[in-house]
Structure 1
Amino acid sequence: MTPTPPPDTPASAQPIGVFDSGVGGLSVLAELRQALPNEDFLYLADTAHVPYGSRSDEEIRDLTARAVAELCRRGVKAVVVACNTASAFSLTHLRARHALPIIGLVPAVKPAVKATKSGVVGVLATPGTGRGTLLRDVIREFAEPAGVRVLTAVSTALVPLVEAGKADSEEARATLREVLAPVAGAGADQLVLGCTHYPFLRASIEAEFGSTFTLVDSGAAVARHTRNVLAERGLLHTEAREGRVTYLVTGDPQAARPVFAALLSQPARSAPAHTGPESGHSETQLSGHAPRIEPAHT
Structure 2
Amino acid sequence: MNMKQQPIGIFDSGIGGTSIWKEIHQLLPNENTIYLSDNKNAPYGQKSTQEIVDLSVKNTEFLIDKGAKIIVVACNTATTNAIQYLRNNYNIPFIGIEPAIRPASLKTKTGTVGILATKGTLNSALFEKTTSSLSDEITIIEQVGEGLVELIENGKIYSDEMTSLLKKYIDPMLEKKCDYIVLGCTHYPYLLPQIQEITGPDVQIIDSGEAVAKQVKNILSQQNLINESTAAPSNVFYINKEKAVLENMLKDYNQSKIDYLDF
Name the CA shift for 1:157/1:215 in 2 (closer, same or farther; >3 Å): same
Which one of the candidate residues 242, 262, 267 is aligned to 2:248? 262
Equivalents in 1 of 2:233, 2:131: separation in Å? 37
Deviations for 1:136-158, whole angstroms, at most 9, x for unmatched residues? 222223x326x211111112200
Equivalents in 2 of 1:201, 1:227: separation in Å? 26
Equivalents in 2 of 1:224, 1:126: separation in Å? 24
C-alpha contact 1:184 1:212 (8 A) present in aligned 2: no
Equivalents in 1 of 2:96, 2:228: separation in Å? 24
Hey, what does 1:157 align to over in structure 2? Answer: 147
**Unpaired runs of 5+ in structure 1?**
1-8, 266-286
Hey, what does 1:91 align to over in structure 2? Answer: 83
Hey, what does 2:117 align to over in structure 1? Answer: 125
Hey, what does 1:292 align to over in structure 2? Answer: 257
**In angstroms, what is the RMSD of aligned CA positions?**
1.5
Equivalents in 2 of 1:110, 1:241: separation in Å? 39
Equivalents in 2 of 1:236, 1:291: separation in Å? 20
**Unpaired runs of 5+ in structure 2?**
none
Q: Secondary structure at the match of 2:35?
A: strand
Q: How many equivalent pairs are there?
A: 263
- Alignment partner of 1:69 is 2:61: yes
Which one of the candidate residues 197, 202, 217 is aligned to 2:207? 217
Q: Secondary structure at the match of 1:211?
A: coil
- Alignment partner of 1:33 is 2:37: no
Equivalents in 2 of 1:297, 1:57: separation in Å? 24
Hey, what does 2:135 align to over in structure 1? Answer: 144
Which one of the candidate residues 112, 120, 134 is aligned to 2:104? 112
Equivalents in 2 of 1:172, 1:95: separation in Å? 36
C-alpha contact 1:14 1:75 (8 A) present in aligned 2: yes
CA-CA distance at 1:37 after TM superposition: 1.1
Name the CA shift for 1:178/1:244 in 2 (closer, same or farther; >3 Å): same
Deviations for 1:176-209, whole angstroms, at most 9, x for unmatched residues? 1111211111000101000000000112212322
Name the CA shift for 1:290/1:205 in 2 (closer, same or farther; >3 Å): farther
Q: Which moved more, 1:19-28 or 1:162-171?
A: 162-171
Equivalents in 1 of 2:139, 2:99: separation in Å? 15
C-alpha contact 1:38 1:239 (8 A) present in aligned 2: yes
TM-score after normalising by structure 2 = 0.95
TM-score after normalising by structure 1 = 0.84
C-alpha contact 2:196 2:205 (8 A) present in aligned 1: no
Name the CA shift for 1:243/1:53 in 2 (closer, same or farther; >3 Å): same
